[in-house]
């Protein structure tokens, strides 16, 4: 009998030792010391024994039950602790990870936005403010106030998108250049005026270097005794800063715009080598902008006395500058919203251009 009990104890203890979770352990407990468990059944046999037998078996069975109970509780504690450790490990939060890591890492600033930020930083450093106006313009601001005579071919020159005539006969246009904001600024501000006007512009045109919507930045300076020397210096400083080069060669070619007199188109010196343009050196020329001294009629239309004040203005194609500086070959891709293109040509959102921190570093 006691040999059987010894084997039973051995078996139970090793089952308890090997129980790998709390459910298995509970099953063993019920089977061993539950109400109908093996040991409880054995206890019940005590009643049928002689007093002598009971005196001997009682303590043996009680001792056995005690040891099994204790082994069960020891094992239970170990399993509980193991389960807790597994859970702690699984639910661990690494607070050292940067929050919202991905948007900063994945997002890109479009080259057009980048170039606008660069231009703003350069002119901001020279004391220029930023102005803007509506994309949908009246014929007056887009043409008439800028000294385009009625029926003048220059109006056609712009490949204008005209909107349907309104009931009162007025016909709005998608602005063909940022120059209308010259007038809007003169109407609002007193000289001295120093502003740049970056924004969207529209012309009915589409090929590798033209899209129906494109971007320009207008520059306008008005004050007493403003002359072409100021214009030339400003554009030279701008080109050096923008292309991040120490010296630049500019060529001013006589041209025509109704709103400037005299008018000049400006070319920048460059070389074309292995299909790549290098700005600032070499014997080739690349046209980059239109400019001139503000026409007296335009000053008058803006409410400024041309006998007292003079000014200069210029207009640059932003997309073209972006293509030149960052080597993108096809303008149409700028507006395809292709994420792979953005990954390649875009800029990291926290690399904000500034004159002290660097423009495109
Ligand atoms: N508005 C002109 C254009 O779009 C550029 C320009 C602006 C020329 C200012 C002279 C002065 O072609």
Of 61, 91, 121, the last residue of a domain is 91
- For residue 214 and ligand 1, the question of a CB distance below 6 A is answered with no
Can you name the residues that pair with 222 across neighbouring β-strands?
A: 193, 311
Residues 119 and 15 in one domain: no
Helix (H, G, I), strand (E, B) or coil at 209: coil
Which ligand 1 atom is the nearest neighbour of the CA of 294? 11
Task: For residue 96, tell me if it sits in a domain.
Answer: no
Residues 86 and 141 in one domain: no
Task: For residue 101, tell me if it sits in a domain.
Answer: no
Task: For residue 99, tell me if it sits in a domain.
Answer: no
pTM of the predicted protein model: 0.71
The number of domains in the chain is: 2
Please tell me the distance from the alpha carbon of residue 197 to that of residue 189, in angstroms, as a whole number: 14
Task: For residue 351, tell me if it sits in a domain.
Answer: no
Residues 190 and 80 in one domain: no
Please tell me the distance from the alpha carbon of residue 345 to that of residue 326, in angstroms, as a whole number: 8
Characterise 345 by phi-psi region: left (phi > 0), alpha (psi -120 to 50), beta (else).
alpha
Task: For residue 352, tell me if it sits in a domain.
Answer: no
Residues 84 and 165 in one domain: no
CATH code for the domain of 204: 3.30.930.10
Residues 123 and 85 in one domain: no
DSSP state, residue 358? B
Residues 129 and 178 in one domain: yes
Task: For residue 98, tell me if it sits in a domain.
Answer: no
Query: Phi then psi for 214, rounded to 5 degrees?
Result: -145, -175
Domain, as residue range, for 191 = 106-345
Residues 70 and 114 in one domain: no
What residue's CA is closest to ligand 1, atom 12? 290
Residues 110 and 241 in one domain: yes
Residue 173 CB contacts under 8 Å (≥ 6 apart), including other chains: 136, 137, 138, 139, 142, 160, 161, 162, 163
Task: For residue 294, tell me if it sits in a domain.
Answer: yes
- For residue 257 and ligand 1, the question of a CB distance below 6 A is answered with yes
Digitized pLDDT (tens) for each residue of the chain, 361 residues in all: 578 888 999 999 999 999 999 999 999 999 999 999 999 888 888 888 888 988 988 899 999 999 999 999 999 999 999 999 999 999 988 777 666 657 777 889 999 999 999 999 999 999 999 999 999 999 999 999 999 998 887 777 678 999 999 899 888 999 999 999 999 999 999 999 999 999 999 999 888 888 999 999 999 999 999 999 999 999 999 999 999 999 999 999 999 999 999 999 999 998 888 777 888 888 899 899 999 999 999 999 999 999 999 999 999 999 999 998 998 888 889 999 998 999 999 998 888 888 888 888 7
- For residue 147 and ligand 1, the question of a CB distance below 6 A is answered with no
Residues 72 and 178 in one domain: no
Task: For residue 273, tell me if it sits in a domain.
Answer: yes
Of 33, 56, 91, the last residue of a domain is 91
- For residue 180 and ligand 1, the question of a CB distance below 6 A is answered with no
Residues 17 and 136 in one domain: no
Residue 161 CB contacts under 8 Å (≥ 6 apart), including other chains: 173, 174, 202, 203, 204, 212
Residues 191 and 266 in one domain: yes
Residues 7 and 35 in one domain: yes
Of 44, 62, 91, the last residue of a domain is 91
Q: What distance in angstroms lies between residue 244's CA and the mean position of ligand 1's atoms?
A: 24
- For residue 198 and ligand 1, the question of a CB distance below 6 A is answered with no
């Amino acid at each position: 009998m006691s040999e059987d009990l010894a084997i039973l104890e051995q078996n139970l203890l090793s089952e308890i030792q090997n129980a790998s979770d709390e459910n298995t352990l509970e099953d063993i407990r019920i089977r061993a010391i539950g109400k109908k468990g093996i040991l409880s059944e054995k206890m019940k046999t005590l009643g049928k024994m002689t007093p002598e037998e009971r005196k001997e078996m009682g303590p043996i069975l009680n001792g056995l039950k005690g040891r099994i109970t204790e082994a069960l509780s020891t094992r239970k504690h170990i399993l509980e602790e193991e389960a807790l450790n597994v859970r702690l490990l699984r639910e661990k939060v690494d607070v050292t990870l940067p929050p919202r890591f991905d948007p900063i890492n994945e997002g890109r600033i479009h080259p057009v936005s980048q170039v606008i930020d660069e231009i703003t930083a350069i002119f901001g450093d020279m004391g220029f403010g930023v102005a803007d106006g509506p994309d949908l313009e009246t014929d007056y601001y887009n043409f008439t106030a800028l000294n385009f005579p009625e029926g003048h071919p220059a109006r056609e020159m712009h490949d204008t998108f005209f909107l349907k005539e309104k009931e009162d006969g007025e016909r709005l246009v998608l602005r063909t250049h940022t120059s209308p904001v010259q007038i809007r600024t003169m109407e609002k501000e007193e000289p001295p005026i120093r502003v740049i006007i970056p924004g969207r512009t529209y012309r009915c045109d589409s090929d590798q270097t033209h899209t129906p919507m494109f971007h320009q930045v207008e520059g306008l300076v008005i004050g007493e005794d403003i002359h072409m020397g100021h214009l030339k210096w400003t554009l030279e400083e701008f080109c050096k800063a923008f292309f991040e080069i120490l010296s630049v060669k500019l060529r001013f070619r006589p041209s025509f715009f109704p709103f400037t007199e005299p008018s000049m188109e400006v070319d920048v010196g460059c070389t074309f080598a292995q299909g790549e343009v290098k700005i600032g050196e070499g014997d080739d020329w690349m046209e980059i902008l239109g400019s001139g001294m503000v026409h007296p009629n335009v000053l008058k239309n803006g409410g400024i006395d041309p006998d007292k004040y003079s000014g200069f203005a210029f207009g640059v194609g932003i997309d073209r500058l972006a293509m030149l500086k960052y080597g993108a070959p096809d303008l149409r891709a700028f507006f395809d919203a292709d994420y792979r293109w953005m990954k390649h040509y875009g800029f990291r959102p926290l690399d904000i251009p500034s004159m002290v921190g660097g423009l495109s570093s």
